[in-house]
Amino acid sequence: MTNGLVLSIDGMGGDSAPDIVVEGVDIFARSHPDVRFLVHGDAGRIGALMDKYPAAKAASEVVPAEKTIGMEVKASQALRQGKGSSLWNAVQAVELGTAHAVVSAGNTGAYMAIAMFRLRTMQGVHRPALATRWPTMKGGYTIMLDVGANVEADAEQLVEFAIMGEAFARAVSDEPRPKVALLNVGAEDQKGHEEIRSAAKLIRETDVDINFQGFVEGDDIAKGTVDVVVTDGFTGNIALKTGEGTARLVGQLLREALTSGPLAQLGALIAYPALRKLRTRMDPGTFNGALFLGLNGLVVKSHGSANGRGYAAAIGVAEKLARSHYREEVVANIQRLSQANANAAAAAAAAGSAK
């Protein structure tokens, strides 16, 4: 590994790979000349693209990979047959220590499976989680996790998600003490599932070092009430997709309204630069870059349909994480959680033997 930061890139993952990937690397490289890239994939195609993107070419080493994992491939299939693919090799570079983080816009299930298989779960973490960012009314982002890696999560897992999400938030924002809350159907202590109430109790009763704010509701995600919203992967996935669907619905209704007659069209034409800015702000590419948390390595997922700018945003997430103390912070808090659990178990055993 060189002295500088090295990022491993799956050159072939995503709807418009490798074109968008190389463009994204180029955009990022122009403002970050100190970062190097290992771009895995079809060397002929990627090499030809690099000629069009000089900043990407100067910062990258193209690492040939003999195959590509398609979007339709199942996770189990990817594990059996994925060796030698651009995705597999990109992950392996992190495992071997030749890169500090990996980015792919490819098949999510295959990516998660290969990353878990090669990098393994961090000690003390039961299951990895998938975290995404949402734009908020305050102008920043809310990080939400889990959004689909685990259909169910018990209290201890929810606390692990809180710990990992908090360190992620600090790494990618300027907030030194990100606010963390559990997603619930009301703010009162007695609301919600047993798992959520127990998780809140566990955070409050252990010395896990996070700025915990209790419960928030679904509308707090877009409000930006807290920096990190913690939930199980079932609820998180449904909330994420419901939000995306609603944003698309409003966008469609707006387009219909602004093309509904000559006056509306004229108004839209005059307001066009402002409307284009709105579109950019709502574009998932702008806040692109999900993270698989809880693995021995930094694994960033770009949206499959991200454009070059969106891909560069995902690379930015990987870079910020790689330069942060994310791992050490998670390890320290997970140890506090494990210690609290061990103490509780010892106390229970002592109480039992004293009988």
Binding site for a copy of itself (CB under 8 A): 135-137, 148, 151-152, 183, 185, 191-193, 217-223, 231, 233-235, 237-254, 256-258, 260-261, 263-264, 266-275, 277-278, 281-282
Q: Which is nearer to a copy of itself, 126 or 255 (CB)?
A: 255
Q: Which is nearer to a copy of itself, 124 or 267 (CB)?
A: 267
290 - beta bridge partners? 301
Q: Which letter, b or e, does each residue of 272-285 get, where b requires 16 or more Cβ atoms within 10 Å of its Cβ? A: eeebeeeeeeebbb
Taking the complex as a whole, the smallest distance from the CB of residue 188 to a copy of itself amounts, in Å, to 10
Taking the complex as a whole, the smallest distance from the CB of residue 183 to a copy of itself amounts, in Å, to 6
DSSP one-letter string for 11-40: TT-STTTTHHHHHHHHHHHHH-TTEEEEEE
Distance (Å, whole) CA 38 – CA 98: 9
Distance (Å, whole) CA 308 – CA 16: 10
Q: Does residue 248 sit in helix, strand or coil?
A: helix
DSSP one-letter string for 159-221: HHHHHHHHHHHHHHSS-SS-EEEEE-S-SSTT-S-HHHHHHHHHHHHS----EEEEEE-THHH
Q: Which is nearer to a copy of itself, 26 or 220 (CB)?
A: 220
Residues 6+ apart with CB under 8 A from 354: none
Q: Which is nearer to a copy of itself, 241 or 325 (CB)?
A: 241
Distances (CA, A) of 228 to 135, 201, 296, 339: 12, 18, 22, 24
Taking the complex as a whole, the smallest distance from the CB of residue 21 to a copy of itself amounts, in Å, to 26
Taking the complex as a whole, the smallest distance from the CB of residue 129 to a copy of itself amounts, in Å, to 14
Taking the complex as a whole, the smallest distance from the CB of residue 245 to a copy of itself amounts, in Å, to 3
Distance (Å, whole) CA 191 – CA 193: 7
Q: Which is nearer to a copy of itself, 128 or 297 (CB)?
A: 128
> Around Cβ 218, how many Cβ atoms within 10 Å?
16
DSSP one-letter string for 43-109: HHHHHHHHTT-HHHHHHEEEEE-SB---TT--HHHHHHH-TTBHHHHHHHHHHTTS-SEEEE-S-HH
Site of tokens 């463009």: 23
Residue 37 and residue 2 in contact, taking contact as beta carbons nearer than 8 Å = no
Q: Which is nearer to a copy of itself, 46 or 149 (CB)?
A: 149
Q: Which is nearer to a copy of itself, 273 or 352 (CB)?
A: 273
> Around Cβ 206, how many Cβ atoms within 10 Å?
18
Distance (Å, whole) CA 146 – CA 130: 5
Residue 230's H or E segment, with its range, is strand 228-230
Q: Which is nearer to a copy of itself, 246 or 339 (CB)?
A: 246
Q: Which is nearer to a copy of itself, 137 or 348 (CB)?
A: 137
Taking the complex as a whole, the smallest distance from the CB of residue 299 to a copy of itself amounts, in Å, to 20
Taking the complex as a whole, the smallest distance from the CB of residue 303 to a copy of itself amounts, in Å, to 14
Taking the complex as a whole, the smallest distance from the CB of residue 235 to a copy of itself amounts, in Å, to 6
Taking the complex as a whole, the smallest distance from the CB of residue 207 to a copy of itself amounts, in Å, to 29
Q: Which is nearer to a copy of itself, 137 or 354 (CB)?
A: 137
Taking the complex as a whole, the smallest distance from the CB of residue 216 to a copy of itself amounts, in Å, to 10
